[in-house]
Chains A and B, each alone.
Chain A
Amino acid sequence: MIEFLQICVGGLVVGSIYALIALGFSLIYRVTGAVSLAQGGFSVLGALIGYTLSQTYGWPLFLAIPVAVLATVAIGAGLGAISFVPALERLSNANVLMLTVGLLTAIEGLCLVVWGSQPYALPPFSGESPARIGPLLVPTQAFWVVAAAAAVIAGLWVLITRTRLGRALRACAENPTAASLMGIGVKRMTLLSFGLATLIAAIAGVVVAPTTTLQFDTGRLLTISGFIAVVIGGITSFPGAVAGGLLLGLTTQLATAYVSTLFSNAIALLILLFVLVWRPNGLIQAKVAGRADVREGGRVHGHVARLQPNVAWIAVTVALAVALAVPLLVTSNGIMSGITIAMILFITLIGLDVLMGYTGQVSLGQAGFMAIGGYTSGYLTIVHDVAPVLSILAGMALSLGCALVLSMVTLRLRGLYLALATLAFGLLVDSFAVGFVDITGGPSGMVGIPSFSVGGYEFASPRAMYYLVLGINVVLLASFFGAMNSGFGRALRAIRTDQTAAAALGINIVRYKLVAFAISALLASLSGSLYAFFFNFLSPDMVGTNRSLELVSMLVIGGEGTLVGPLFGSLLITLLPTVFQPFALYKTLLSGGLLVVCFLYLPQGLYGALAERLARLSLGRPARAGGAELIRSTPR
C-alpha cells in the first residue's frame, strides 16, 4: 500500500509536468487553431540555461531560475515572431505542425551545439533531504513541481476568465475574423499565446530539472508526452489538458512499477490509440465548438511547375548519366557510403511523398515501418538463415499488415490527430524494438546482419550497394511517375485539396488513402531492410522517431509532391556532416532550421525552385474546337 502511494506521488509529479506542457499546447491551439510541438524544446532550453547560470556562473538559484525562464521566453517569443506567427498566415495547419517540428529540432540542435550531448541535472531548490509525510518519503522538489503546476493553472485561469486580455484571447480563439474587426490585434494575440506557452514550458523545465536528468533531446520526450496528454484529455479544454497530464503520469508510473519499465511507453501509447478511436476529441470536451477548419481554406497547397516533355527527357538523361558515373568520380569511401545511405532513405521518401506530398496525409512515424522491415530482415537472415530477398518480402508483408491495422485508426483522423497517431505508432514500434531484447538485441542493437546477396553474389561494398539501390530507385521513380502524372496521382491530389469535391466526382477517398498508406509502408519497409543489410547492424535509434522527423525534413526541404525532390533533401542532410566534418555537431540545428526556412520561404522545396526555373524554358500549346458532339461522345 505504501509502495502504491509512493508510486502515485511519483506519478503526480510526472503528471504535473505533462499537464504543464499540455496546457501550453491547449493554449496555443485554442488561440490559433494550430499546434506547436516546440513546447518540450523550450522546457529543456530553460533548464539548461538555468544550469549554466547556477552551476557554471555560480548564481544563486532564486536568481538563476527566474532569469533562465525569462531568457527562454525571450528566445521563444523571438522564434515565434519570425516563424510560427508568419507561418499561420501562409501554411495549412498540418504544415504549421510540421514547421514546429523544425522549430523543435532547431532548438535541440542549438542545445547540442551549446551544451553538448551529456546529461545535466539541477540541484533541488530546497535541499536533498526528502520530506516525511506519515510513512511516505517525498522529495522536496515534488512540492515545487506540484505548486508550480497549481500556480500556473490558477494564473492562467484568472488571465483567461477575469481580464480584458483574456477576453481578447478568447475572442481570437472563437472567431479570429470577427475579433480583428473588433480591433483586436490577432497577430499580437497569437504571439502572446506563443510567448505564454513558452513561459509555461520553461517553468515546467526548470522545476522538473532537479528530479531527473535532461539532455539536448529530452525535449521531444516531453513534447510527445504533453501532446499525448492533451489529446487524451481534450485539446480544446484546459481542465482536459490537466486531467490528461495527470492521468498519463499516473498510468506510466504505475505501469513502470507493476508491469515493466520497457513497456510503460507502449501502454501509454495503446491508451492513446484507444482514445483516438473511441473519443477522438478527448475525454473532456469544451463547451465552445471546435475551430479546426476555420482557417483551412485557400492556403492548402502551392503548385509545382511541371517540365515540358522535351526538357524533362533531357533532364532525365543527364541525371541518369550523372548517377551512373558517381561511383567512378567519388574516391572517398565515407562519401560513397553517405550517398548510398541517402539513396536507401530515398526509397522511404518516395513512399512518404506519395502519402504526404500527393495525398496530404501527415506521417510522423514512417521510420516505424523501416524498423519493421529492418528487424524482420535481420532476424530472419541471422536466426533462420533465410535468403535476404525473401526476408525483405517477409518484412514488407508484416509492414503491410501493420499498416492495415493502423489504418483502422488513421483513416478516421485528419490533421494533428493523424500526426499524433502516426507518431504514436513510430514510438510503439520503437518501444518494442527496445523491449524485445531476445529478438531485436534491445537498445544496443542487432549485430551480425549479413550483407545483401542474391544467388551467391554479395553486395558488400558501398559501390555495389549503390548500383543495386540506384536500380531500385529508377524502377520506382519510373513507375510512380507513370501513376502520379495520370489518373491515380490526380485522384490523390484531388483528395489532398478537397475531399468533398473529390467524392462528388466518384473518387473513393477511403480506398485511395489506404493504397497510399500501404505504398508508403511497403517502401519504408524495403528501405529499412536494405538499410540493415548495408550497415550489417540495426539499433532502435537508427530507425526511431528522430529518423521519422528527419525524413519529413528531407521531404519538405527537397520538395513535396515532386517524387524526385526528396532525393535533394536526403543527399543534403546525409552528406553535409560527412563532407564537412564540423557540420556533424550542427546537423540537428541545420536540418531543423532548414525545415523552418523551407516551409516559410521555399514551400516548393529545393527541387521545386529548380523545376520552376527549368519550366520557364518551355512554352504551352493551343487546342482545338468541338460542341455538343464532344460532350455527348464517349471515347471508344
Chain B
Amino acid sequence: MNAPSSPSPAAGLPPVLSVRGLEKTFGGLKATSNVSFDVADGAVTALIGPNGAGKTTVFNLITNLFKPDAGEVIFLGENLKGLPPTRIAGRGLIRTFQSARVFPAMTVLENALAGRHRLVRHNGLPQMLWTRAARAEERALRERAEAMLDLVGLAGDAGRHALDLPMGAQKLLEVVRALMAQPRLLCLDEPAAGLNDTETEELAALLRAVRESGIPVLVVEHNMSLVMNVADHVVVLEAGKVIAEGPPARIQANPRVIEAYLGREADAAA
C-alpha cells in the first residue's frame, strides 16, 4: 500500500514534501488511513478523489490544523510533527482554504500585501519610526503586489474592499496572497470550486505561470479538466486511501479511478 519510493516527474530531485503513513480517525470514522505520497520539486501535484475521500483532511493534517494519529510529514527534509501552523507557514509551506478566506476588513491590495508578512524584515519598531529602510521595503512591496494583482486582472480593483469582489476573484486573490509569501511549496485547497469557466481558465493560466516560475504546487481539486490541464503528477484518494498515482494520462485510463469516480454500474451504462 506504500507509495512508490520516487514518483518524481522532475528529474531526480528530492521531493519537497513527503507524506508518510498519515492516519486520522474522527469519532469511529477513519478519515485517512496510511496515506503516503511525495510532492516533487518544480511540479504540480494534484490530489483528487470523490467527495468525502479525505482530501481536505490530508491538507489539514499536513499543515497541522489537525493532529495526525500516526504518520509524519517531511517538508524540505524537516519533520513537521508538532509545529504550529504559524511556524509551518514560516518555513514556506503556504496554503489556501476551500472557502476563500480573504481578510474582510482590508482592501484587495492590503490582502495581497498581508501575504508577504513572513518575509517583511523591517516590521514593528522601524515602521513606527518611519525609517528609510522600512519605507523603501513597503514601497517595493506595494509595487510587487500591484504587479501581481495586474497579473490576474485585479489591478483595477486594488482599492476595493476585498469582500466586495465576486467569489471567483476572491479565490484568485487568495492565491495571489499566498504567492506573495514566496512559498517553497504552494498548497491550494480546491481553488476552482465556485469558479465559472472563464475564471477557471484564468486560474489555470496562473497555475501554469507558477509552475514556470519553479514553485512546486500541491493542489486538491474536483475539476478534472483543470487537473488534467495543469498537473504533472496525480494522486487519487478514495475513502481515505491512496488508490492510484501517476501522470494524468495514466490516471485517466486507470480502471480503479474510473470506478471510484463513476461507480461500476455507471461505468457499464456509459
Contacts and interface: CB of A to CB of B under 8 A. Distances in A.
Interface in A584-635: 620, 622-632, 634-635
A331 B150 CA distance: 56
Interface string B80-113: 0000111101100011110001011111001001
Interface in A509-556: 509, 515
A310 interface: no
A306 B159 CA distance: 9
21 contacts: A300-B105, A303-B161, A479-B129, A479-B130, A483-B124, A487-B120, A487-B138, A491-B114, A491-B117, A498-B101, A501-B97, A503-B84, A505-B89, A505-B94, A505-B114, A506-B181, A626-B147, A630-B144, A631-B148, A632-B213, A632-B214
A486 interface: yes
A605 B65 CA distance: 37
A338 interface: no
Given A479-B128, A497-B103, A623-B146, A505 B65 contact: no
Nearest to A501: B101
A636 B182 CA distance: 13
Of the candidates A303, A622, A624, the one having the most CB atoms from chain B within 10 angstroms of its own CB is A303
Given A491-B117, A631-B215, A500 B101 contact: yes
Contact of B213 (A491, A628, A635): A628
B172 interface: no
A504 B63 contact: yes
Prevailing SS type, chain B contact patch:
helix
Interface in A379-418: none
A491 B151 CA distance: 24
B151 to A, nearest CB: 5
Of the candidates B114, B129, B161, the one having the most CB atoms from chain A within 10 angstroms of its own CB is B114
A299 to B, nearest CB: 9
A303 B102 CA distance: 14
Nearest to B140: A635
Interface of A: 298, 300-303, 306, 478-480, 482-483, 486-488, 490-491, 493-494, 496-498, 500-509, 515, 561, 620, 622-632, 634-636
A630 B151 contact: yes
Given A498-B103, A505-B117, A506-B118, A622 B128 contact: no
A636 B139 CA distance: 13
A301 B102 CA distance: 13
Contacts of A494: 103, 106, 114, 117
Given A504-B89, A627-B151, A636-B140, 9 more contacts: A298-B104, A302-B105, A479-B129, A500-B85, A504-B95, A505-B177, A623-B147, A625-B151, A632-B214
Contacts of A503: 84-86, 89
Contact of B105 (A303, A488, A631): A303
Contacts of A628: 209-210, 212-213
B133 to A, nearest CB: 10
B141 A635 contact: yes
Contacts of B181: 505-506
Contacts of B123: 487-488, 491
Contacts of A488: 123-124, 127-128
B103 A634 contact: no
B97 A504 contact: yes
Of the candidates A302, A303, A631, A632, the one having the most CB atoms from chain B within 10 angstroms of its own CB is A631
A627 B86 contact: no
A515 B124 contact: yes
B166 interface: no
A486 B213 CA distance: 27
B137 to A, nearest CB: 8
B157 to A, nearest CB: 9
A600 B141 CA distance: 37
Nearest to B160: A620
